[in-house]
Structure 1
Amino acid sequence: MASATRRFDIEAITDKIYEASVVPESWTSVLDSMTDIAGGVGTILLAADTTDFRFISTQGLSGFVESFVEQGWPERNTRTPAVLKARHAGFIVEKDVYSPKEIENDPLINQFLRPQGLGWATATAFPMSTGDTLVFSVERAYRNGPVPEASVELLDSVRPHLGRAALISGRLRLERARAAVETLALLGLPAGIVSRDFRLQAANALLEGLMPRVVRDGSARVAFADGDADDLLATALNATRRQVPRSIPIPKRDSDPALVAHLVPVRGIARDLFTGSAFILVLTPVEKQAQGPDADLLQGLFDLTAAEARVARAIVAGETVETLAVRQRISESTVRTQLKSIYAKTGMKGQIDLVRLGSGLSLVRSDEA
């Protein structure tokens, strides 16, 4: 242990850890230091969620997690559940959770790790206040044997700092997200943060003012009071590729104006490893206007192409598919194809719904909100 301690500047590593707590990009440097301590190939920091793998990894494991996911190993993974089940406040190695026979027969170890020259590791887990569990896993080459006990002890010495830094990261990232939704309130836009389990983590005062008449903070997930809009929201939240922006129309109801809800993915390094945040939900109020909406407005609200926006505006203005095709010098089949895409993006079921939506679209200025 003494020789291992002399090889590493623990104080410098600890400084790196706390730097990473406020500068997410610095986590990679921390993971590099952990790799060096264990004599490993690389280190992964991941959120333990088999349905949506979120991770940061060092250069030595470039492509490793991507292959792991592509080959379907998250559903057959035995290592992460073993780490979580152990509930050990320290780093563990294979012999702590597997028998020698289990190591030799484990499909993940033998069919995925060893063919890549890997097969030994040390890992630890931290439960987060967001409901996620963070796992640090240092991967070591099979030819080098198990991670030495001295290395595990050294990693254990910095483990409390890793836990505190992860907690700080989570709080800071959540506060930044909250600041973002408060900034949107200054622009007159109701907004909130939606977690990865689809519940509201935070909401600005404007969004709270629409609850529960328009938006409902349910125990299972955030929801819309309007049934059709809520069906679209449920589909968007449960989509396989949840990192795709979506816009959902919400019709006028009693004294509340018509709205367009934008579900904007939270992206970036360590974006949701620490906060559990998945989306920023922004509601754009709309008001009735005498003329049809501007094509640029339709394009911006629903992520339409320029051609789709022109078709949508023409339909809202009362044109038929036939007259529109003649005027724009395109085939009717092209117009109908564009309409199908428009319906998919706006959530409308047909031309009548599109006309009803579009006839009331006009952005409410922030000083009128």
Structure 2
Amino acid sequence: MSRFDIEAMTDKIHEASVVPESWMPVLDSMTEIAGGVGTILLAADTTDFRFISTKGLAGFVESFVEEGWPEKNTRTPAVLRARHAGFIVESDVYTPEEIERDPLINQFLRPQGLGWATATAFPMSTGDTLVFSIERAFRDGPVPPEAVAILDSVRPHLGRAALISGRLRLERARAAVETLALLGLPAGIISRSSRLQAANGLLDALIPVTVRDGGTRVAFADGDADDLLAAALNAANRQVPRSIPLPARNNNPAMVAHLVPVRGVARDLFTGSAFILVLTPVEANSQGPDADLLQGLFDLTAAEARVARAIVAGETVETVALRQGVSESTVRTQLKSVFAKTGMKGQLDLVRLGSGLNLVRSDDV
């Protein structure tokens, strides 16, 4: 690759530091340098990993995960153990005999026509480790030393761009949280490892009476609400918004906590953020909440929302069943599901929750 090409690639890297969508052309250039099939940018922490990859490796990481290879992977740990400030190839961390015996190489990569690669890793301040991995076809042999040398020459730019991306993404998330404070809403950022990355002043004021910034994860002081929070933080699908009721505590009003997923994989790669947490105060409502509000807040089915609305309005299971033309056992089953999703233990708790579910506007707070 010519000097002009290197300069052009460096420009792409600098652009990617502030425009997440520009990382893909950078990965394409890295693939071209190594004569590879494709490149993966992986962000890994102690709990999970996220990635973006070029078109040549479409479905590669998905298959890697589905077939259970993360637990048997030897390559990424080898890259991390090497602590080498450059790109490494197989011969840097394996003997020829180890290459021929390695299950990942022989049972996963070679059957797909792959088997050679070069990779480098960067630790991030968020606790993640970014790994750039370029996969090369087995028939083409190992990544040539001259290609590794070119990649090493742009590696410092990759590291700086990744660091800037992380800082900018986190600062933008913090700015969003502070904007919510102007609207009267306590808010914070929850990391992929379930820690509180940042909080505005209104949320700080609720710690530790309502919200607790624990050593292992953010938590709610109310046990039932915290059980729902733990389930949301540990859910396999973190792209689903969730709402959790918080009862009044001391001088703090009842609230609904909303977990809003941080969307956009390229952004998520660098910030390590999973959710924006927003707490909305509620006020007394003698007529009870609208069924659509209950359904939207707590991910209830339409039938569950109607049952919940009726119970909050003072109806019994028997009258609900009669009016809706279903059996009492059906209503009880739906009600049990409502309790599970809202964290309530019985009808009285549900009535107390529902009678307060008029969301307070920000200018009333």
Tell me what 2:147 maps to.
Answer: 151
Where does residue 30 of structure 2 map in the other structure?
Answer: 34
Aligned match of 1:212:
208
Kindly state the Cα deviation for residue 304 of structure 1 after the two structures are TM-superposed.
Answer: 2.5
Give the stretch that moved more between structures: 326-335 or 206-215: 326-335
Q: 2:10 — aligned with what?
A: 14
The alignment yields a C-alpha RMSD, in angstroms, of 1.6
2:21 to 10, 21, 25: 25
Q: Is 1:364 aligned with 2:360?
A: yes
Q: Secondary structure at the match of 1:175?
A: helix
What residue is the counterpart of 2:88 in the other structure? 92
In 2, the alpha carbon distance for the partners of 1:353 and 1:71 equals 44
Alignment-derived partner of residue 322 in structure 2:
326
CA contact (8 A) 2:90 2:118 kept: yes
Tell me whether 299-308 or 180-189 shows the greater mean CA deviation.
Answer: 299-308
Contact 2:47 2:193 in 1 (8 A): no
Match for 1:166 among 146, 162, 166? 162
Match of 2:133 among 129, 133, 137: 137
1:51 Cα shift? 4.1
Q: Structure 1 residue 5 and structure 2 residue 2: aligned?
A: yes
Show the counterpart of 2:235. Answer: 239
TM-score, normalised by the number of residues in structure 1: 0.95
Q: Distance in 1 between matches of 2:33 and 2:128?
A: 26
Aligned residues: 365
Partner of 2:299: 303
* Cα separation, 2, equivalents of 1:50 and 1:190: 28
SS at 1:355's partner residue?
helix
Deviation of 1:250 after TM superposition, in Å, equals: 1.1
| Structure 1 position 364, deviation (Å) | 1.5
Q: C-alpha deviations, 1:94-125, integer Å up to 9, x for none?
A: 00000110000000000000000000000000
- Correspondence for 2:222: 226
For residue 337 of structure 2, what is the aligned residue in structure 1? 341
The answer to whether the aligner puts 1:60 opposite 2:70 as a matched pair is: no
Q: Is the 8 A contact 1:50 1:74 kept in 2?
A: no
Partner of 1:122: 118
- The answer (yes or no) to whether the contact 1:214–1:226 under 8 Å persists in 2 is yes
Specify the alignment match of 2:286 in structure 1: 290
Q: Which runs of 5+ in 1 are unaligned?
A: none
Partner AA of 2:230 in structure 1: A
Q: Percent identity?
A: 84
Give the Å deviation of 1:350: 2.8
For 1:111 and 1:148, the matched residues in 2 are separated by 24
The list of structure 1 runs, each at least 4 consecutive aligned residues, that deviate by more than 6 angstroms after superposition, is none
| Distance in structure 1 (CA, Å) of the matches to 2:248 and 2:357 | 11
The one-letter code matched in structure 2 to 1:224 is F
Amino acid aligned to 1:290: S
Contact 2:312 2:351 in 1 (8 A): yes
| Mapped contact 2:312–2:355 kept (Cα < 8 A) | yes
Cα 1:154–1:97 shift into 2, 3 Å: same
Q: Tell me which amino acid in the other structure corresponds to 1:216.
A: R
Structure 2 CA distance for aligned equivalents of residues 290 and 80 of structure 1: 58
- Other structure's SS at 1:274 match: helix
Q: Deviation of residue 217 (structure 1)?
A: 1.4
| TM-score where L is the length of structure 2 | 0.96
Change over 3 Å in CA distance of 1:209–1:50 after alignment to 2? closer
